[in-house]
Amino acid sequence: MDYVLGELASRSINFFISKSSKAKVLDVEDSLQRVLIRAQVIIDEATGRHITNQAMLQQLDLLRDAMYHGCYILDTFRCQSHDEHDANDQVVSHSFSLSKVNSLKGFCSSSRNTQILEQLQDALDNLSSMILDVKELVVFLTSYPRLYRQPYSMHLLLSNCMFGRQMEAELVLNFLLQARPHGAEELEVLPIVGPGRVGKSTLVANVCKDERVRDQFSEILFLSDHDFIDEKLMHRWQGCAKKFQNCTAIKDVRVLVVVEVVGEFNEGEWKRLYSSSKQFLTSGSKIIITSRSEKITKVGTRSALMLKYLSDEAYWYFFKTLAFGSMDPMMHPRMTYLAMEIARMLQRPLIPGIITACLMRDNFDTHFWSKLLVFLRGFVTWHVSKFGEHPSDCLNQNRPAHLARMMRTSEAIMVYGWYECTSQEEVPKIALQNLMYGSAKPSGRFETLAWSSPIPPYYNYIYTCEIEDLKTTSVKRKRS
């Protein structure tokens, strides 16, 4: 009898603690949602203005990261019930998950409410502290001129702008627009370093499009490391098209040289280029050099700008905004969960992320998104088990990779490599999206258009592919 009474008392206490904890979690969730809205207002207002103060840019960058993290934690919490619901679901199987966050998987223990509360509270405290720190910044924002008018739907803005590089763009602008130190004879050089497809060329092209840069320099000359030979460089300098040429007369003819190092950095060739540039470039001219190699950092007269891939939190914010379009994710919690799992499957590559998000927005349906998640999970599981790595890793390094076909599961797309071409060049008529999610079946080796960038430098990304029959390939391997 004493045991029964003790058990009933214990269960009653646990019940009240559980209800109290759940109430606290919901209160923190509501507070975090309100603070996120405040942070979004500040960031949207700042993004639409030309801010030159470097300290303010750093503060905004920290606030933006805190907002991405808060959104990520909040969406992860809200997706928890759907994650548990799908644990044994055959439609959305968890046979393979690349999720690195402990927010969902760690909530299945008896102390999950405590863990939820801690993560939500940490995000709330961090973001609230950030907003307090930028009180003065908000006051000064109105003194800066506007750059553009915010469109009604955020996805329209993100589809046509350089996402997540506001601070880096301002740093490059500051380098280009800053007056040369009095008496300085050396040409100023800014190195920009980062891995493949991180956005080095996109960053430079967007900065060069700025009217203030075009007013500052009479010409912008783009070179690759293949143009390092003196004679070829001089020939290009004398006969190249006058891109971004000013219509107004400029007293001092200043030139901006942008050098893209595609292969290994050769210091001897760089010295020849730099020496030639000093001979014909006038005072006030500048050089930007980009490369994957950190070796270029030692040739800079300024500290190198290091670019990294988007964080998980920033990528999720970008992906969710594009996938939902003008729809409110809070009104579709089930689809928010599916979108979050799909984003995790992709592992943060920009081009596949844009293709997938646009496909989801065009097919705004829970059943289709569930089917897409099953397809991507099965495909990634197969690729990792067969080749030992995620397909995104292969594509980022321009190595051969396999892509699955949603409508033809017995076939795969063998991608031999990819290259970029300008918007003036002819592009393939077959789109990669139609290959992966449609029924098109070209014969032999062919080229397909993966993506056309709507922002400078307006590159078209072309994949060289071939359709493989998995059944035939498997039979041939068994016989051999």
CA distance 340 to 80: 11
From residue 122, give the alpha-carbon distance in Å to each of 29, 43, 66, 118, 475.
11, 20, 11, 6, 55
pTM: 0.78
CB 109 within 8 A of CB 18: no
State the average pLDDT over residues 312-320. 94
Reply yes or no on whether the pLDDT at 426 is more than 70.
Answer: yes
Reply yes or no on whether the pLDDT at 300 is more than 60.
Answer: yes
65-77 pLDDT, tens digit each = 999 999 999 999 8
From residue 202, give the alpha-carbon distance in Å to each of 25, 293, 326.
42, 18, 26
327-386 pLDDT, tens digit each = 989 899 999 999 999 999 998 888 899 999 999 999 999 999 999 999 999 999 999 999
Could you tell me which of 67, 45, 36 has the C-alpha nearest to residue 141? 45
Neighbouring residues of 453: CB distance < 8 A, sequence distance ≥ 6: 202, 459, 460, 461
The confidence score (pLDDT) of residue 127 equals 93
Q: What angle (nearest 5°) sits at the alpha carbon of residue 283, between those of residues 272 and 302? A: 65
Q: pLDDT band at 165, cuts 50/70/90?
A: confident
The confidence score (pLDDT) of residue 80 equals 78
Reply yes or no on whether the pLDDT at 477 is more than 60.
Answer: no
Structure tokens at 438: 């449609």
Structure tokens at 384: 């990792």
State the average pLDDT over residues 264-271. 86
From residue 93, give the alpha-carbon distance in Å to each of 63, 89, 119, 334, 381.
36, 6, 26, 15, 12
| Length in residues, the chain | 480
